[in-house]
Structure 1
Amino acid sequence: MFSKACEYGIKASIFIARESIGGNRVNLKQIATSINSPEAYTAKILQELVKSGIISSVKGKMGGFEMDPTTLAEVKLVHIIKAIDGDGLYHSCVLGLNECDAARPCALHKRIFMVRKDLQKMLEVTSMNDLIDDIDNGLAFLKH
């Protein structure tokens, strides 16, 4: 459903947010290890998240990546997905056709429309706090 980069971006954001709540900054190696991602690939993803204002990067010996714990309720999944993958999730053809819209639909266009609307709503309301709460309450996990 999401690109591999987006999956890593979501997992990295959750990891950084959880650590930030505890007052910790995390470095690239810690993040890559925690989400089972190659460091170089993770670095590129983190750059996009910093550029989009989702996470912050602090340079220096005590530096690392962090998120402002007071804003985690406002950081929604949709922000991370747009930062990494753009908004193609809502508009691109699920069958990969170049031309697909209501006037010239693919075979799945009408069937996927409501699913996309529900998905969009979920992504727009689900915050970092929601995801962290699920993990902290044992209802979800980040890593096998």
Structure 2
Amino acid sequence: MFSKACEYGIRASIFIATKSSEGVRVGIKDVAKEIDSPEPFTAKIMQILTKNGIIHSAKGVGGGFEVSNQALRSVKLIQIVDAIDGDSIYKGCGIGLKECSEVHPCPVHNQFKKIRELLLTMLTTTTLEELALGVNSGDFHLKIFSQNK
């Protein structure tokens, strides 16, 4: 559904948010390891997330990536998706046609429209804080079989 870069961006944002809620900044190596992503690819994703104000990067000793308390509460998943993939996932055609509309629908238009609406609702209402709290409590996980927090 999302591009691989977007999947990694969401996972990285959640991981960084979990650590930020504990007052810890994390380096690129730790992020890449935690989200099972190649380090150079992770670095590019971190640049996008930083440029879009989703995460903050601090240089030097004690530096790394973090999410501010204000961003934890306010950043919604839609911001991450928009920054990396744009809006085509919840506005585009379900089978990738360049032109698909109410007037000229594709074969799956009506069914996919319902899915897009549910997805858009989830993306616009889910915060990083909500997901980070779920990971920190053990209700959610970022890696299969991981007991990391």
Report TM bin, short chain. over 0.9
What is the CA-CA distance between 1:15 and the residue it aligns to? 0.7
Alpha-carbon distance between aligned partners in 2 of 1:4 and 1:63, rounded to the nearest angstrom: 27
What CA deviation, in whole Å up to 9, does each residue of 1:42-65 have, x standing for no partner? 000000000000001111122111
Alpha-carbon distance between aligned partners in 2 of 1:130 and 1:106, rounded to the nearest angstrom: 36
Task: Name segments (4+ residues, structure 1) moved above 3 Å.
Answer: none
- Taking every aligned residue pair, what percent have the same amino acid on both sides? 49
SS in 2 for 1:57: strand
What is the CA-CA distance between 1:93 and the residue it aligns to? 1.2
What CA deviation, in whole Å up to 9, does each residue of 1:107-140 have, x standing for no partner? 0011111221111011101011111222233221
- TM-score normalised by the chain length of structure 2: 0.92
- TM-score normalised by the chain length of structure 1: 0.95
What is the CA-CA distance between 1:98 and the residue it aligns to? 1.6
Q: Which runs of 5+ in 2 are unaligned?
A: 145-149
Counterpart for residue 65 of structure 2: 65
Q: Which runs of 5+ in 1 are unaligned?
A: none
Counterpart for residue 107 of structure 1: 107
SS in 1 for 2:74: coil
Residue 10 of structure 2 is aligned to residue 3 of structure 1:
no
Letter in 1 for 2:39: E
Contact 2:3 2:85 (8 Å CA) reproduced: yes
Alpha-carbon distance between aligned partners in 2 of 1:134 and 1:23, rounded to the nearest angstrom: 17
Counterpart for residue 42 of structure 1: 42
What CA deviation, in whole Å up to 9, does each residue of 1:23-73 have, x standing for no partner? 111110000001000000000000000000000111112211111023312
Alpha-carbon distance between aligned partners in 1 of 2:51 and 2:118, rounded to the nearest angstrom: 28
Alpha-carbon distance between aligned partners in 2 of 1:117 and 1:90, rounded to the nearest angstrom: 7
Alignment of 1:117-132 (within 5 A): 117-132=117-132
Contact 2:54 2:71 (8 Å CA) reproduced: no
What CA deviation, in whole Å up to 9, does each residue of 1:65-115 have, x standing for no partner? 111023312111001100110111112111111211111111001111122
